Chain A
């Protein structure tokens, strides 16, 4: 898809340009005494050149395309968006709500909205898994998770 390829090349070029602007605030130094901006300057300039070359050639960089991998089905953009938003909210509320509440909320939402399980089952499983995870990681593996409102 040439449009998509152009967009990715332009995005990379913009990243390179922003980096070049930011490098301007750093001391570049000389070849004899390279400063902190020396290496980023070389990298940003090279990235800009490669992005322009990508834009000019506009050939999609073919990787092992995930769409073609065995076992892939039809696309579900709604499920993808719901997962990303849920994950962002989870991170935002991770410390504020505490581990068990935030995790149970995320799991219940994903079980219902994305995996399409029924509410009572999803909620029950989410709460049990959140408590069990807290027990395994916090108590047994000594991983310090955010405290819940009732304490650790």
Chain B
């Protein structure tokens, strides 16, 4: 199916009453949890995953995707009004957004964040519409060696580009892959690392692990440090940006959109890194960099556009290659598999209603978000005033219910608590949990594709170097591994050249 007829068909699917309701619920809940500090989109998607079992596959994915990009919108509200990031990708928005609010410009900050997010979100969906079909066509040529090479590229990028040290990230990725091998080996049927426990035969559950690492651990961190919540109490007015606001924000929104979308496609990047790069870029390009950190509207517009565009970019590898580039997409991959759908290059032809329905629902969702965000700002402000002492016990109970509802297994609740404490310790020691979860999901695919490649080539690893597509991807992985170490030396040499 071509792009335009496909998109038209997708709009018909997305606008059916059931799917429209799923989209509305998704973006509303996403905004809500984005506004509330202490529970992120990943934990919420995992929490609501069992509730989507009764829905159709399209409605289920539309709702879960809506939670993800809805949270990006909502996160900025908390950053601007309370100086607490509602979710991790809104950290940068605190810097200038809250300063604008303190200077009486909360409305302008919220307005430009909403409009910037809408523009970036919509443009990134346009990018998905145009890029997904050719990428899916390339994906059809992928065999086990190519899949293994892509995963290797993903692991390299995760290690090189995540916020922590490279060694620490590599350790977390290896630990995640090792945890992914727990359970019955899918090829030989042998139990691995189960210690004779039947509960571990299916492996460690993804949902309890994610909710422990991202939900419970965040609550523990907040409890320990007693989150200070100072909400701006002045009346919020002037939500529509002025002409001067648009003039200042147009460039940052455009650059943030392109940057976020391009980086979002790459495995392991997520929505956080593009916001930092966008902020640094805008400060460097600004004629008045000294205004940054003191309420510069460009410092809100660029990062907000970047994190919303990144969410759109991230869905491309999932839909076209069946590879989850970040943790929320791993949850979405889990949802696809639960509904018996294998995302990948064949999805566009075998399940067009699902592929185009999800893409079209993102256009609809972005319009809904803009319509929801600005009129409901009063409600979000009231929510922000709910004390954390009331919220956190509820978050813990909802995490437990979410985990229990998946399979009714006590072992999953134990996994939830164990990974909650582990996540807390990891964050205290400066280790990022995201590489662990990503590697946990991708590691299983990596093992399968590696073993299949070795079987195909009768034990020769040269199969990775003899197939053009796999070789190209491997060269990219090698460049990603080597360049960060070599580039500073080359730059230093080049700088020294004129002096010589």
Contact in complex: B223, A83 (CB < 8 Å): yes
Chain A residues with CB under 8 Å of B420's CB are 84, 87
Q: CA of A137 to CA of B405 in the docked complex: distance in angstroms?
A: 9
Residue of A nearest to B398 (CB): A133
- Partner pick for B51 among A15, A61, A141, CB 8 A cutoff: A141
- Does B54 sit within 8 A of A, measured CB to CB? yes
Nearest CB on B from A131, distance (A): 12
Docked-complex contact A76 and B225, CB < 8 angstroms:
yes
- Which of B98, B393, B459 is close to A32, meaning CB atoms less than 8 Å apart? B459
B410 lies within 8 A of A61 (CB): no
Does B429 touch A at the CB level, under 8 Å?
yes
Question: Do A62 and B410 have beta carbons less than 8 Å apart?
Answer: no
Residues of A within 8 A of B460 (CB): 31
- B185 an interface residue at 8 Å Cβ cutoff? yes
**Interchain nearest-CB distance for B226 vs A (Å):** 4
Scan residues 390-426 of chain B and give those whose CB is less than 8 A from a CB of chain A: 390, 392-394, 396-397, 400-401, 404-405, 408, 410, 413-414, 416-417, 420-421, 424
- Are B450 and A54 closer than 8 Å at their CB atoms? no
Q: Which residues A80-114 have CB closer than 8 A to chain B?
A: 80, 83-84, 87-88, 90-91, 94-95, 103, 106-107, 110-111, 114
Distance (whole angstroms) from the CB of A96 to the closest CB of chain B? 10
A83 to chain B, nearest CB (A): 5
Across-interface contacts of B416 in A (CB, < 8 A): 91
Residues of B within 8 A of A27 (CB): 188, 190
A36-B185, A69-B85 known; A15+B175 contact, CB < 8 A: yes
Taking a contact as CB atoms closer than 8 A, the residue among B178, B228, B432, B459 that contacts A47 in the complex is: B178
Contact B400 A61 (CB under 8 A): no
Distance between Cα atoms of A83 and B223 in the complex (Å): 8
Q: Does B225 contact A57, Cβ atoms closer than 8 Å? A: no
Interface contact A110-B393, CB-CB below 8 Å: yes
Contact with B along A16-32 (1 / 0, CB 8 A): 00010010001100111
In the bound complex, residues from chain A placing their C-beta under 8 Å from that of B190 are 26-27, 35-36
Quick check: which of B161-169, B306-314, B320-328 contacts chain A, the rest being far away? B161-169
* A124 at interface by CB-CB < 8 Å: no
Contacts of B414 in A (CB 8 A): 91
Closest to B190 in A: A36
Q: A135 contacts the other chain (Cβ, under 8 Å)? A: no
The residue from B185, B225, B410 contacting A94, defined by CB atoms under 8 A apart: B410
In the complex, what residues of B have CB within 8 A of residue A44's CB? Answer: 178
Contact with A along B222-255 (1 / 0, CB 8 A): 0111111110000000000000000000000000
Give the contacting residue for A84; candidates B177, B187, B421; CB below 8 A.
B421
Inter-chain contact A57/B167, CB cutoff 8 Å: yes
Q: Nearest Cβ distance between residue A42 and chain B, in whole angstroms?
A: 9
Q: How far is the CB of A48 from chain B (nearest CB, A)?
A: 9
When A63-B164, A75-B224, A79-B223 are in contact, do A143 and B50 touch as well, CB less than 8 Å?
yes
The answer to whether B455 touches A33 (Cβ under 8 A) is yes
Decide if B432 touches A63 in the complex (CB within 8 Å).
Answer: yes
Q: How far is the CA of A36 from the CA of B420 in the complex (A)?
A: 29
Task: Say whether B219 faces chain A, with CB atoms less than 8 Å apart.
Answer: yes
Determine the chain A residues whose CB is within 8 A of the CB of B167 once the complex forms.
50, 53-54, 57, 59, 61
User: Are A61's CB and B165's CB within 8 A?
Assistant: yes
A39 contacts B164, C-beta separation under 8 Å: no
Instruction: Say if the beta carbon of A128 comes within 8 Å of chain B.
Output: no
Q: Which residues of A contact B219 (CB under 8 A)?
A: 83
B493 at the interface (CB under 8 A from A): no
Smallest distance from the beta carbon of B231 to chain A beta carbons, Å? 11
Q: Are A38 and B226 in contact (CB under 8 A)?
A: no
Q: Do residues B163 and A75 form an inter-chain contact, with CB atoms below 8 A?
A: no
With A47-B171, A72-B227 given, name 12 new contacts (CB 8 A).
Answer: A32-B454, A34-B451, A36-B187, A53-B167, A60-B430, A63-B427, A69-B85, A73-B226, A76-B226, A83-B396, A88-B417, A129-B397
Contacts A/B (CB < 8 Å), 8 sampled = A8-B431, A47-B171, A60-B429, A69-B91, A71-B227, A71-B228, A115-B389, A145-B404
Chain A residues packing against B (C-beta within 8 Å): 4-5, 8, 12, 15, 19, 22, 26-27, 30-40, 43-44, 46-47, 50-51, 53-54, 57, 59-67, 69-77, 79-80, 83-84, 87-88, 90-91, 94-95, 103, 106-107, 110-111, 114-117, 129, 133, 137, 141-146
